[in-house]
Amino acid sequence: MNFKMEKIEGKYYSTGIPTLDNLLSKKGFHKGYWIGFAGKPATTKSLCVSKMVGEWLMEGGGRCVIFITSEHEPSYALSQIIELGYDEKILKKLMKNKQLIFINQFNELVNNKRVSPRIETLTETIKEKVNLMKRVEDYEIMVVIDSLSAYWSGKPAVAQAKYAQLTRDVKQDIAIALVTFQVSIGTGQSYGWGGEHGVDGLLKFRKFIENGEEKVAVQIAKMRVQDHDRFMRKIEIINNMPTISDKIYVEGRFQNYDDMMESLKFKHHRETQDRRNEIMEETLKHVKKQEVQRAKEMQNITEILEKLTSILERITKSN
């Protein structure tokens, strides 16, 4: 059964992922927020977004999605939603009814042989689709962009300004926006090339090794004006549902300040104890060495005394 993506307190939308809602004070995402999903490739960013899209659409009641693809064909995005357990016929019916609209900006990138598609084109396209939908019905519109990083891969320095322009121009007309960011494969940093500064909420995804197997972790890095969990936690797809569970450590980083301080205290204690053990070991070696030396000296003294005794005996006999 699908988890209902209901409004909470009139200002929030459930994420459609129960374990994520629980980490967001059981409220979900604030209405009107732009939520960023940042991470390296194959860290379940797109899967989480696809699940949220599926739940949003299955709720019905004037819900619709504008889904922009910039790094793959729309058919791939659709197949990913289907793989998470949603009926293909229902999804295609929603596409026919213009409640699920795919905008293929990947073709613009390939056909025009450009380094990145134009962000201005994206803004104009979203505004056009939103205005068209609003004329037909008072839809609650979810905008999805997968991935936003493609729009400034050629000029990362302008990313923040371009993203600010995008959110300013279309934010007031939509219910929620979900955008994915790529990060540096080498360092895992610069996760969005400026976009992370403009989002209202940010989920960071990272890989880690558990018992020799590669796993994925997620952290709610920020969520404006909302209490939320701040730990890095394991995320897995269980029965077509992204499920967030145990706290973990990733790449030597700490989940919070308290963990860091506890680790530093432990490290200091361990280093102090190790130093004490080294001193004790050195002392024991020194004592042992002295004992061996004394034993040799005693042996030498004993041999000397035996020789003296032997000489005295000879002298006594000769007299």
Q: What is the Cα–Cα distance from 294 to 287, expressed in whole angstroms?
A: 10
**The CATH classification of domain 7-253, taken from the options 3.40.50.980, 3.40.640.10, 3.40.50.410, 3.40.50.300:** 3.40.50.300
User: Which range, of 11-20, 46-55, 143-152, 188-197, averages the lowest pLDDT?
Assistant: 188-197
* The token pair that represents 38 in the structure block: 């940042």
Q: What is the Cα–Cα distance from 1 to 142, expressed in whole angstroms?
A: 22
For 182, other C-beta atoms within 10 Å of its C-beta total 20
User: Which range, of 84-93, 95-104, 194-203, 306-315, averages the lowest pLDDT?
Assistant: 194-203
Question: What is the strand order of the sheet 29-30 is part of?
Answer: 7-8, 12-13, 29-30
Q: Where are the alpha helices (DSSP H) in the chain?
A: 18-23, 45-59, 74-83, 88-96, 106-111, 119-136, 159-170, 257-318
**What's the confidence (pLDDT) of residue 148?**
81
Contact 149, 193 (CB under 8 A): yes
**What's the confidence (pLDDT) of residue 234?**
93
Contact 37, 204 (CB under 8 A): no
Closest by CA to 3, choosing from 245, 247, 238, 217, is 238
- Residue 242 backbone dihedrals phi, psi, to 5 degrees: -60, 125
**What's the confidence (pLDDT) of residue 116?**
58
User: Which range, of 75-79, 159-163, 204-208, 265-269, averages the lowest pLDDT?
Assistant: 265-269
β-bridge pairing 7-8 and 12-13: antiparallel
